[in-house]
Amino acid sequence: MSQPVADIGPGILLIDKPDGITSAGVVNRVKRALKALKVGHAGTLDPFATGLLICCIDHATRLARFFLETDKIYRATLHLGVETDTGDSTGRVEAKNFSPPLSEFSGGMISEERICSAFQQFVGKISQVPPAFSALKHQGIPLYRWARRGKTIQKPPRIVTIHRLTVLDIDFPRVRFEVSCSSGTYIRSLGTDVGRALGCGGHLSQLRRIQSGRFHVDEAIPLGVLEETAAIGRLRERIIPMASALKGWPELAVGDTVAEKVRYGRPISADDIPTGCVGVPENDLTTCIKVIDEKGALLALLHRNGKGGYGYCGVFGNQA
């Protein structure tokens, strides 16, 4: 059994995922390259999709839920006129040439303005039906496995938010667009819905995640050079420390006495933290505060408990 790489430590590794591999497959390759004990990811990308995948190493897997909840930005290509059962190019064709026929698009009867207008219908809070081919589970089994067995499980609609939706280029029958959206938005479903709004159907032929929260794909290492970078001992430079990964969060540096309490998840009172040091209003019981030791290592995440003390959002202990 391989031993963990001692000088890597817990943290975040940003991967630029290629197409043709699952998110779980990326995680396995990262785990082997780092010889890490534990690796997880914060937000699944479909096998046909590319782009930013946030990988959490060892203790940092406990931060994954915070990255999952952040807004995302995608760039995608919608292929008009053909609808598939998966909503992307890997699926089985279910319908072609909706009404009006595609010739009306190429002949100019349906203008670019109409296409742009159809996209704008989906800006704001919308109700979205998750695709049958997704990682959502029914009776503990992912929906895509049910679908492959010939049984389509329809999950109830969910409310998501499309902050911005911009058409970048129209080269009929393909429309390139960029979308900024809330966590939990299915871009495949969005593409299907836009195609139906136009009356011709559609599916995604390309999908790329370019941003998740504050992280951008330009900061990521391509999966193809992962092992090479690890082999020459340069992968450590790509690991983002846990405290740095939460850049912009309220921060509290504590001395040894309080740090010892925090490491073991012991109760923290107002007496342990001087008034005014936190920077979070006393009536704010939801904002998490990152607690670091004198070396800058993340010890825990706290929130005010409304009783003059603090509760824990997560404890990370000694990461040395």
Q: Catalytic amino acids?
A: 46
Show the beta-strand stretches assigned E in 140-220. Answer: 141-142, 158-171, 174-181, 202-212, 215-216
* Beta carbons within 8 Å of 228's beta carbon, 6+ residues apart: none
| Distance from C-alpha of 94 to C-alpha of 201, rounded to nearest angstrom | 10
Residue 316's nearest CA partner among 274, 259, 252 is 259
Torsion over CA: 180, 203, 49, 126 (sign): positive
Contact 72, 178 (CB under 8 A): no
Torsion over CA: 104, 172, 185, 130 (sign): positive
| Distance from C-alpha of 283 to C-alpha of 214, rounded to nearest angstrom | 27
